[in-house]
């Protein structure tokens, strides 16, 4: 059963703890990465046989396989996929930025240009987890950024096939190449390249402990989005909230992972008790109770605060991945919220709306990293390059200032490079 705690009686560690067990897979992942660097496609085929029980003769998904997958799907679901894609595109289109140029000073031009990354690798979990929503969320912003090469990797089933839902989502999103490979070996392939898999400039997408560790190890050679932790939801709710709705929203994240975290912060002790009871009622009929139960019992908690304002302050300290604000006038509190991955406003905005259909991204900072990082966006797939141009007269006007600055730092070579042109024209 979930814990109910009074904020005024809690120590800081209890409020903000995230006691997630960690798997020590460092050495295993290091060996896999080195093997892929050495043996390329052969290593990928061997690991796919070993871990996914699939014997493949080629890694890349063919155009025929994509067509067959699309044809096999329920037209109603295809329409929903397209609706979600349209909403994601509409939201993320607002993030597209342009470069700028400054030429107010005579003889001086400075500017910044926006350059899309050339090749982006998207990891999509497979096996028992099939998330076409992740395909859309992680690929559409890259396409909007203008990335010309979008490569997706995902593990096949024992039959050597990829879920039709995944392939259809990839087709809608405009993925250029799809490869049947998962795990740390897929990350290694994207980081170093193989005979079939192109080397990526950035790797995005969630995965298990092996995928997360692989991303950590290849970071620096290739960019990554983030090291994603277990799913999190924090709900701020007043006493008028419906406990049935709140319990359902908490379980929507608890069913993801035994290590997921579901937290309710409320100003009502009565609501806290009702939500606790409702969680038990809904858990008993939840198909994924075996996963959600330990999540609620071990990581879940209900915190009773003195006010909604204090509840928001607690949320800012916890910095949750998902934050629901279940009050009548949620926009009254929006400016108070400073640390959350994605905020769901009001009583009719379950977090699942953001997972699938609303449009804002669902790849979000976890583990408190919303204090300093942001949801996946178009910005994650661009580079910014700056440039400077000075005429001879413009350089002469500031050469001595540059030299003075350089000499204060003990860098005579810098100083000379600034004045040598004007002295030798």
Residues involved in catalysis: 321-322
What is the number of residues in the chain?
425
Helices and strands counted in the chain (H then E) = 16, 14
CB 406, CB 415: distance < 8 Å = yes
CB 68, CB 75: distance < 8 Å = no
Nearest CA among 221, 190, 218, 141 for reference residue 382: 141
Q: Is 392 exposed, middle or buried (0-12, 13-18, 19+ CB in 10 A)?
A: exposed
Q: How far, in Å, are 18, 229, 368 from residue 22 at the CA level?
A: 11, 10, 16
Q: How far, in Å, are 62, 182, 392 from residue 134 at the CA level?
A: 21, 15, 53
Q: What are the residues whose beta carbons fall under 8 Å from the beta carbon of 367, sequence distance 6 or more?
A: 18, 20, 229, 232
């Amino acid at each position: 059963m979930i814990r109910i705690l009074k904020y005024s009686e809690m120590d800081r560690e209890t409020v903000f703890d995230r006691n997630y067990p960690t798997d020590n897979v460092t050495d295993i992942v290091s060996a896999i990465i080195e093997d892929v660097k050495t043996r390329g496609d052969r290593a990928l085929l061997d690991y796919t046989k070993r871990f996914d029980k699939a014997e493949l003769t080629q890694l890349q998904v063919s155009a025929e396989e994509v067509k067959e997958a699309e044809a096999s799907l329920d037209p109603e679901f295809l329409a929903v996929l397209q609706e979600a894609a349209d909403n994601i595109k509409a939201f993320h289109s607002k993030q597209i930025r342009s470069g700028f140029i400054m030429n107010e000073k005579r003889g001086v031009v400075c500017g910044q240009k926006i350059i899309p990354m050339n090749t982006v690798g998207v990891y999509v979990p497979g096996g028992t987890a099939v998330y076409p929503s992740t395909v859309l969320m992680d690929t559409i912003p890259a396409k909007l950024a203008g990335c010309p090469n979008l490569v997706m990797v995902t593990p096949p089933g024992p039959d050597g096939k990829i879920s039709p839902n995944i392939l259809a989502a990839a087709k809608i999103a405009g993925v250029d190449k799809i490869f049947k490979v998962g795990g740390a070996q897929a990350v290694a392939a994207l980081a170093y390249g193989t005979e079939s898999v192109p080397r990526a400039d950035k790797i995005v997408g969630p995965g298990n402990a092996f995928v997360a560790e692989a991303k950590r190890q290849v970071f620096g050679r290739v960019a990554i989005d983030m090291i994603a932790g277990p799913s999190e939801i924090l709900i701020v709710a007043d006493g008028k909230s419906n406990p049935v709705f709140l319990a359902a929203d908490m379980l929507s994240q608890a069913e993801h992972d035994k290590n997921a975290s579901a937290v309710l912060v409320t100003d009502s002790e009565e609501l806290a008790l009702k939500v606790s009871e409702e969680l038990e009622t809904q858990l008993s009929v939840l198909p994924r109770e075996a996963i959600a139960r330990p999540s609620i019992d071990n990581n879940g908690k209900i915190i009773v605060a003195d006010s909604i304002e204090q509840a928001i302050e607690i949320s800012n300290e916890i910095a949750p991945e998902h934050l629901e604000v279940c009050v009548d006038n949620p926009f009254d509190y929006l400016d108070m919220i400073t640390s959350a991955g994605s905020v769901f406003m009001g009583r009719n905005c379950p977090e699942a709306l953001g997972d699938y259909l609303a449009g804002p991204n669902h790849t979000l900072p976890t583990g408190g990293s919303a204090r300093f990082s942001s949801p996946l966006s178009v910005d994650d797939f661009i580079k910014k390059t700056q440039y400077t141009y000075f005429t001879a007269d413009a350089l002469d006007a500031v050469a001595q200032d540059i030299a003075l600055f350089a000499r204060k730092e003990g860098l005579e070579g810098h100083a000379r490079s600034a004045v040598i042109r004007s002295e030798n024209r």
